[in-house]
Amino acid sequence: MAVHKAKKKARRVGGEAVIAAGRPRFPADTPLAVTLTFHPKTRAAPDEDNAIASLKAYLDGIAGALGVDDKLFRLQRPIMAEPVKGGRVLVSIQVQEPPAQ
């Protein structure tokens, strides 16, 4: 039960962040490049796979608030930045440009 509540809260927080950012709009059915910049609490940063997995519910909330299917998210390799007190994750979403031909 506690895990369900935590996931529900994470989805809500992710959605609220989108609303606070002005709820940007993206073209329908367009792949979106998602860059995650992690500022861990300590120098002992988590590995990349676990860091991304810890944000699944937040990304679901972000997708819901944007009105897009999260299958359109193209996660870029995460950036492990300098630690900050309390930790922080920055999420950047942009239209993914097609590969150069």
Domain residue extents for the chain: 2-95
CATH 3.40.109.10 for the 2-95 domain, yes or no: no
Given this model, what pLDDT does residue 97 score? 77
Q: What is the mean pLDDT of each run of 10 residues along the chain (101 residues)?
A: 86 91 85 95 85 94 93 95 94 84 67
**pLDDT at residue 28 in the model:** 80
Please give the pLDDT value at position 25.
Answer: 85
In whole angstroms, how far apart are CA 71 and each of 2, 43, 80?
27, 32, 24
Q: State the pTM of this model.
A: 0.86
Vertex 34, ends 95 and 87: CA angle to 5°?
145
